[in-house]
Amino acid sequence: MMFEQLALIGCGLMGGSFALALKRAGLVKRVVGYSKSPSTTERARQLDVIDVEAPSALLAVSGADLVLVAVPVAATEATLKAIKHMVTPSMLIMDVGSTKGDVTDAARRALKEQLGSFVPAHPITGKELAGIEHAEADLYRGCKVILTPTERTLTVQLKQAQALWSALGCEVVQMSPEAHDAAFAAVSHLPHLLAFALMNAIQGQAQGVQFLPLAGPGFRDFTRIAASDPKVWRDILLANGPELLAQSQLFQAQLQAFETLVRSGDAKALEALIEQASAARTQWQMTQTAKPC
Amino acid sequence: MMFEQLALIGCGLMGGSFALALKRAGLVKRVVGYSKSPSTTERARQLDVIDVEAPSALLAVSGADLVLVAVPVAATEATLKAIKHMVTPSMLIMDVGSTKGDVTDAARRALKEQLGSFVPAHPITGKELAGIEHAEADLYRGCKVILTPTERTLTVQLKQAQALWSALGCEVVQMSPEAHDAAFAAVSHLPHLLAFALMNAIQGQAQGVQFLPLAGPGFRDFTRIAASDPKVWRDILLANGPELLAQSQLFQAQLQAFETLVRSGDAKALEALIEQASAARTQWQMTQTAKPC
């Protein structure tokens, strides 16, 4: 498997890292990039993440056999519409968005009869530092990638997608967009929301500026995801709103159960609730591979 | 500064790491240890964390010029009462508890006229793996240590405590127990509570077992503290209950502000709230030293 030309639309952390990983693995001959901001595209070229700057998404796709759409999820539909006229039946088109229901719907509307070329993908990785400057060839190594093919995704493209991510060192998992969005509301979108809310709660207090310098390693790890890209996460929280709000309700019920025990001073029941959480987290850790992505 | 004998009461992660750090720094000649469970004390001896097993806390303190009480905070009072008859005016006694108001009150009640020897201490470090097996000499290196001396703490002991923690590579900060507990409710105790509640919320769902294997690095870091020791955290949450509940209310108000925007689909205001959290977290990170503890 060797691609002639990757059209990279969105030269940020995720897209840039994908291009670097593909190049290092020797899986692509040429990367043509496009970003909404010309200065980003130029920077990607200077950093040798892309080989050629395209003046539009459509022109990046011209001549490509592989397309990666790496933009905030709400921009997926406009992006796919912009490239539709250059999409060929043999092309493999993927995204890297953290929500899959909205992306799949967007692809249906935008690509219509070309929908078969599209394989929705969500690599479970990232870091809190956005932008092409932080792109790295290793970002995807060892992580899971969820593929949520539509009812019209072609087998050839699905197999290509599986082979490509495997070649980058990823574990490929396939599921429906609905199952994906339900799971990630719980294990990713809600934790981000909680981390955002905690930062704002501390910052919103007069004493917050005195509190923050005292914070240690627990705080550091818990809030790391609060530094995530605002535009990317705005889109994710909105795209998966109903599932996210449902998970938040379940969370708040558990939080209130804890609060009730703290208020009543019920040490035994409180220890049991913490024990449950601690055991679950310990068990989860044991299921992780040596190098969790 | 060289101590003849450290009496280590509580041979767990924190206490064991303190003994190892002191030994490596050449600051102590002999470590006599005691744990409630004889098998723990024996294990600490086998691992060379302590040199001598004591059959009681009182006997560990006999002949000691340095005492570290490293037990769940609610056990502080009984521990100090148990050793009171061996406490001498020149002894330095410290704890490592994550709450300081309750510990200071316990010391007042338990030590009475010997209160001057006690310097309440909270090293801002730890890991999610409890127990003597996970003790390491490096646990305290590079971290902050908060000292909250009482109105009767003697200057000699306070200076000794400062010198000791500095010699272990810590940055020593002094504040009142009340200021300590207010700050740590926000930056430590609440994050733990939220991480516990999230784990229980996911586990409490029928689909939770399908969700968890999909979780990635964001979840890993956010929930790391959920694996903390249940007895230790039961005591902390109860000891700092009022401050913790007040912080939880502030947090829930922020969470609800986010939910309102997700529900109404207000992308612009949502992005602004995330931007605020993201900027605060990024700024916090920049204030951290190269090797955050």
Inform me whether the C-beta atom of residue A242 falls under 8 Å from chain B C-beta atoms. no
Tokens in use for B262? 């997700």
User: Which CATH number characterizes residue B254's domain?
Assistant: 1.10.3660.10
Same domain, A29 and A137: yes
Asked whether residue A195 falls in the same domain as residue A76, the answer is: no
- Please spell the DSSP secondary structure of A126-189, one letter per residue: --S--SGGG--TTTTTT-EEEE---TT--HHHHHHHHHHHHHTTPEEEE--HHHHHHHHIIIII
Q: CB distance from A236 to chain B under 8 Å?
A: no
Helix (H, G, I), strand (E, B) or coil at A30: strand
Same domain, B93 and B163: yes
Is A245 in the same domain as A147? no
Query: What average pLDDT does the segment B87-98 reach?
Result: 96
Instruction: Report pLDDT for B288.
Output: 85
Q: What is the mean pLDDT of residues B117-139?
A: 92
Residue A98 near residue A122, CB atoms below 8 Å: yes
ipTM: 0.91
Q: Which of A129, A157, A175 is the last residue of a domain?
A: A175
CA distance A237 to A138: 27
Report the residue of A144, A199, A268 to disrupt the B interface, i.e. the one with the largest count of B CBs within 10 Å: A199
pLDDT digits over B230-252, tens only?
999 999 999 999 999 999 999 99
The reply to whether B9 and B148 lie within a common domain is yes
| CB B194, CB A246: distance < 8 Å | no
**Residue A1 scores a pLDDT above 90:** no
Residues B109, B147, single domain; the answer is: yes
Q: Last residue of a domain, which of B175, B206, B221? A: B175
Q: What pLDDT sits at residue B292?
A: 47
Shortest Cα–Cα distance, B134 to chain A (Å): 15
What pLDDT was estimated at residue B289? Answer: 67
> In terms of domains, do B121 and B16 share one?
yes
Contacts of A213 in chain B (CB under 8 A): 287
Low-confidence winner among A86-95, A280-289, B164-173 (lowest mean pLDDT): A280-289
Q: What is the mean pLDDT of residues A281-292?
A: 80
Same domain, A79 and A158: yes
Question: Residues of chain A with pLDDT > 70: what percent?
Answer: 98
Residue B106 has pLDDT above 70, yes or no: yes
Task: Write down the mean pLDDT value for chain A.
Answer: 96
Among the candidates B141, B175, B209, a domain finishes at B175
Residue of B nearest to A124 (CA): B216
Answering whether pTM is above 0.90, one says yes
**A192, B248: Cβ pair inside 8 Å?**
no
Q: Is B169 left (phi over 0), alpha (psi -120 to 50) or beta?
A: left
| Within a domain: A75 | yes
pLDDT in the model for residue A15: 97
For testing contact with chain B, the best of A98, A221, A229, A244 (most B CBs within 10 A):
A221
Question: For residue B287, what is the nearest residue in chain A, using CA coordinates?
Answer: A213
- With respect to residue B292, please indicate whether it lies within any of the assigned structural domains: no
pLDDT at A289: 67
Confidence tier at B173 by pLDDT (50, 70, 90)? very high
Find the residue in B nearest to A264 (Cα): B238
Higher pLDDT: A196 or A288? It is A196
Amino acid identity of residue A214, one-letter, is: L
pLDDT(A293) > 60: no
Q: Mean of the per-residue pLDDT values for chain B?
A: 96
- A–B interface: beta-carbon pairs under 8 A: 314
Range of the domain at B245: 179-287
Specify whether A158 is located in the same domain as A200: no
Q: Which residues of B touch A216 (CB under 8 A)?
A: 124-126, 143-144, 187-188, 292-293
B245 and A259 in contact by Cβ < 8 A?
yes
When scoring A124, A139, A252, A254 by the number of chain B Cβ atoms within 10 A, the one with the most, hence best to mutate, is A254
A254 and A207 housed in the same domain: yes
Residue A1 CB coordination number (10 Å) = 12
Residue A32 within a domain: yes
Residues B191, A195: contact at Cβ < 8 Å?
Answer: no
Question: Is B139 found in the same domain as B27?
Answer: yes
Chain B stretch 273-292, residues whose beta carbon is closer than 8 A to a beta carbon of chain A: 273-278, 280-282, 284-285, 287-288, 292
For the stretch A141-172, pLDDT in tens is: 999 999 999 999 999 999 999 999 999 999 99
Percent of chain B clearing pLDDT 70 (strictly above): 98
* pLDDT exceeds cutoff 60 at A291: no
Q: B236 CB near a chain A CB, below 8 Å?
A: no
Number of domains in chain A: 2
Instruction: Please indicate, yes or no, whether residues A52 and A64 belong to a single structural domain of this protein.
Output: yes
Residue B99 included in any domain: yes
Residue A292 falls inside a structural domain: no
Q: How many CB atoms are closer than 10 A to CB B174?
A: 14
**Which pLDDT does position A99 carry in this prediction?**
97
Q: Are strands A121-123 and A144-147 parallel, antiparallel or unpaired?
A: antiparallel
Cβ of B222 within 8 Å of Cβ of A263? The answer is: no
Measured over the CA atoms of residue A260, residue A261, residue A262 and residue A266, the dihedral's sign is positive
State whether residue A291 is helix, strand or coil.
Answer: coil
- Partner-chain residue, chosen from B210, B213, B227, that has the shortest CB–CB distance to A285: B227
CATH, residue B42: 3.40.50.720
From chain B, pick out residues whose CB is under 8 angstroms from the CB of A182.
207, 211
Q: Collect all residues of chain A within an 8 Å Cβ-Cβ radius of residue B285.
A: 220, 227
Average pLDDT over residues A211-217: 95
Side-by-side strand order, sheet with B66-69: B52-53, B28-34, B3-9, B66-69, B92-95, B118-119
